[in-house]
Structure 1
Amino acid sequence: MSTTPAGAAAPEFPPQSAASAPVPAHVPGRFAGRTAIVTGAGSGIGRATALRLATEGARVVAADVVAERLEALVAEHPDLDLVPVVGDITGEDGVRSVVDAAGGRIDALANVAGIMDAFLPPAEVDDATWDRVLAVNLTAPMRLIRAVLPVMLEAGRGAIVNVSSEASLRASASGVAYTASKHAVNGLTKSVAVFHGQQGIRCNAVAPGAVATNIEAPMRSEHAARVVGPILATVVPAPATAEQLAASITWLLSDDAANVNGVVLPSDGGWSAI
């Protein structure tokens, strides 16, 4: 967790297991000849997902708002088919640039990009935080799904995975804006599955618990620290690695999950079972 202001203690998670966590085995050629879009591809889960898809044969349109992250990604992996696209996907121009970069074929979409909300409770959340969190976490995935569906529907097939959150399953994992956005992502996921499942489109979500990434998650509310801080300090399993989440996402995007549609899959070390 990030540093918090005086008086607002951040939750303390169990020791990270990232260093000792098993690395999920790749499946060579699983996405050969396919094109995938991954948002938030410059870091964390998005980066791990883009790399896994590309390593397994996909041409990956890697989207992120930070150019330097994408430049580093491509420079470090010159052997992989990575197409970097810098832009803000909360707006239609950014979405269009991502879709255009796919070049007319889109087999898979991973909506990974997301931001936190400083654990602000309903009585403390400001309009700017609410609007920005909903724009990034909910409206951007909706716009990307809306933009890729015509391509997928014409092909008669396509797989979409939205990254939801443990906060979509409970109210004690974040503030009100993030919680609301991720509950809505689950609804968006199921709606796409219902309306377009019979047309060959699968849409599922992965709900991560704690993950060892660089996402900023300060706790800027003393009230939140008192209410949810103790809960997070005692019940949260050790953080997963970004690679473990990428394995769940790519499985749902692959034909291995051909009979899975409209599912919200917790990938949280058992947190959702507590």
Structure 2
Amino acid sequence: MTAVATAPAERGTMPTGRVRPGEIWRIVRLLAVNPTIFFGIPWMILGGAWVITMLIALILRASGISDAEDGFRYSWAVLSPQWYLVVVGVQAVAYTLSFALGFGSTRRDYWLGMSLMFLFVSTEMAVAIATLVQVEIATDGWFIGAGMFDALWYGQSGWWFDFFTTFSLQLFVLFVGAGITTVYMRWRMRGMMTLLFSVLAVVLVFVATVMLTGSGPELASWLATIGIGGVFGIVLALAVVSGLAGYFVVRRATPR
């Protein structure tokens, strides 16, 4: 009995609250086994959108349409990788959690390592896109008046603002994807349906409250007051909430 009591706990199962940097970094390396998923395909999508934008600009110029440049500011092409990154967040948990646990990592190690990977991806994308916005502005739309990165809110408040908004959005979509997957692993389809209808209920209650109380102008005024930076501050806060919620759910998730 003494031998059993004093035997070291199995790796990854010992009840410790300490952070294990080596194990966390091992999760990062596991997720980066196929770097194309995180660092390749998003840029293939963005590069494809850029090529299409350039071709459209050249066609418009060849057709003699000279006042089309302003229309590029309303292009959503710069956000084209976001939909894929939601799927990346889903796949990150669905395909690697059980593998990591099988090799002795704890759920804490896994979630911290995955969060670190998400920070890497969000930072890399934010730095690159914020820089490309400035390049596009400096070259007057790649010398042909075609704007893809300098669109929507980009290019209006400087490099750091573009970095912050992109970083917040990237982190949000990744953690939302990962968080949704943990809900499925914990409660299966019942949990997914509950989550879906809960979100729909919150949205409907919010819309109904705004319409029935006539507070639409006040809401618009408040959004105008906090500005785009404030909106993305809320997005970043939601990313943090999603990350924390996902961590608490994954502690009891049962991957199969």
TM-score of the superposition, structure 2-length normalised? 0.29
Q: Which has the higher strand share?
A: 1
TM-score of the superposition, structure 1-length normalised? 0.27
